[in-house]
Structure 1
């Protein structure tokens, strides 16, 4: 059966799930797979060559975070970083404040900690998806030890007021962690301005390799290591360092810093806005001028989450995939799940609207021609669904 998709014409619009390696990243990693393959903890020449690559990568991450090199800890990615912040700081009797729109790496860790006597307050967002800092302040108790709030939401792209929350944490003596996995490379980073004690990023969200990430851990923060068994990373994360991955992460981060300064991110926002406006203007989609989920709150430049009124989002997702357009119904970590997005539900959407919403997240390398292709395909897919579903056709006409 033909899918209506010619070879080479697929358009990938699921960057918030993962991104491809940029050629410069592959080139940076290649020597550390073959020629400079040593263990960075070994003191012979082969080990020291690997150590040099590791040290240079740490310098790059320190510049990216705006912190001291000693405050950079390499790990396996965002999930490990998020888990480290919670399990490494919280003890029975402590109180955690987080939000109901966090990634599952935070929410599931919090649920597990509740079994060990850690109490959690889940702050709900406003309908726009924004967290009100005053709601964080109201939730603080004498036993509050940690506040954890994401920088950019993975489903809506909404940017949270982390600097304001950081000031609240400082004023009240709480530790503050930021899950910055989706914000990395899309907004300018400065952990001092954010006011956080811990911050997590992941390589594969910034055109780097999968299975590698980094944390900022402010000096003096008493976070315990999740993984023990060696003196790696100044005893903060045991295990032989993945030097090729770390070097690739550093190169991706270096390119991300340039993309913020050279106008790439501004260009990306413009293409996202064109895509968004084009979809909302399409006749017969049933959108009726409804704004995307998360708008008018400030959002990451590459993300839009759009409600297709009276259409089943899963059916449209499949229809677009068959036509060569890769999008998402929500977090990739919940692929195959039948429940609607917890993020959209927390924002006050009913189940029908949450199920009828799709996320378009653009790569930094997206072209205007690809945007035009999506704007050609979406109405075709919607029209086919209307034809197949007389009930939907009646409600959309």
Structure 2
């Protein structure tokens, strides 16, 4: 069991389970029945799922009919990428759960470049995407709402406007969005949007693929009529109930964005005061307020993460989806940043549980580990 004195600052990887989600999951596990059964027990379980669907839809400004529950964002992103596109326009800053299936799909790939400020350059792809969409083939533009490593907010609305102009479909990975920036699926206008329970206070193992009403998408798990015949198999009721409860709690939360902004400003100011050579990646870009990507040239990211861990501080380097491996960030490389930045960057991501004492603990640990004892690999 982890010590209670530890400081958890890796919320972009996974957030702590909120009390509302825990209570909803315990309640769901005590409700007997299969949600596809028509008897009273089955209807009681079905009611839990549909309540969660309404809660998730309400959080992101969608209709409940547009929400399809999945095992998480990776499944949802893979599902969209594998939907038979002839052309996929995607940036190297995307999460691997988008990049890997896009590259394996057999579709022609249009590279959406990103600049050193972390934002994609839509003007560079307008002509090739327009040409791809003008033919008989199906074209998809994929863009995350905010980057999981740098926190940079991407121009999703502009991307959707471009896609609409040329006739392409749009997929938005919004995993880092809920609770960190305003999110409204209806006004955004995307065809597909992905969210994940454990990024917003819910359990691991649940997510949602939001499909705009009227948009066609092949069934991605066959063998049952669940989830509007798009994902067969008995639903993970407890996880879905927890997802819904977390979404409901987050929808009622106020002031979280502003609190995170103040805490991050304190953290970044402290880092720069102690280590003026440190680089706050994309510091001048619009970022979600809970995320700071800090590079310390000449230091190895892996060593920084390990030494901070030994001091009781949990942070990460890059995405937390690589079997515990720490290496040069593909996101920072796609931004064109030099090796001394890409190899030394760590991510600090705050959560609703983060307080000033946690920032103080991080800064005390940073003062210890950022000195000359840390040697780049």
Note the 1:28-177 alignment, pairs <5 A.
28-34=24-30, 36-90=31-85, 94-114=86-106, 118-144=107-133, 145-177=139-171
Is contact 1:31–1:37 with CA below 8 Å preserved after alignment? no
CA distance in structure 1 between the aligned counterparts of 2:49 and 2:105, rounded to whole angstroms: 33
Contact 2:59 2:178 survives alignment (8 Å): no
Could you say what the CA RMSD is over the residues aligned between the two structures, in angstroms?
1.8
Aligned to 2:13: 17
Question: 2:334 matched to which residue of 1?
Answer: 346
Change in 2 beyond 3 A, CA 1:29/1:132: same
Instruction: Extract unaligned runs of 5+ from structure 2.
Output: 134-138
Q: Of 249, 259, 262, which residue of structure 2 is paired with 1:267? A: 259
Instruction: Tell me what 1:3 maps to.
Output: none
Shift of 1:314: 1.3
SS in 2 for 1:215: strand
Aligned counterpart, 2:136 = none
Deviations 1:340-359 (A, max 9, x none): 10001111122232111111
Report the more deviating stretch, 309-318 or 358-367: 309-318
State the 1:291 CA deviation.
4.3
Q: TM-score, normalised by structure 2?
A: 0.94
Q: Distance in 1 between matches of 2:323 and 2:302?
A: 11
Structure 1: give runs of 5+ residues left out of the alignment: 1-5, 393-397
Q: Secondary structure at the match of 1:143?
A: helix
Q: How many residue pairs are counted as aligned between the two chains?
A: 371
Runs of 4+ that moved beyond 4 A: none
Does residue 196 of the first structure (1) align with residue 190 of the second (2)? yes
Deviation at 1:133, TM superposition (A): 2.6
Aligned residue for 1:333, secondary structure, equals coil
Partners of 1:152 and 1:7 in 2: how far apart?
Answer: 32
Q: Secondary structure at the match of 2:193?
A: strand
SS in 1 for 2:195: strand
**Stretch deviating more after TM superposition (56-65 or 329-338):** 329-338
1:12 Cα offset (Å):
0.7
Q: Distance in 2 between matches of 1:174 and 1:154?
A: 25
Q: TM-score, normalised by structure 1?
A: 0.90
Q: Which residue of 2 aligns with 1:331?
A: 319
Structure 1 residues 165-314: aligned runs within 5 Å: 165-259=159-253, 262-282=254-274, 285=275, 287-288=276-277, 291-314=279-302
Kindly indicate whether the alpha-carbon contact (under 8 Å) linking 1:231 and 1:238 is maintained by their aligned counterparts in 2.
yes
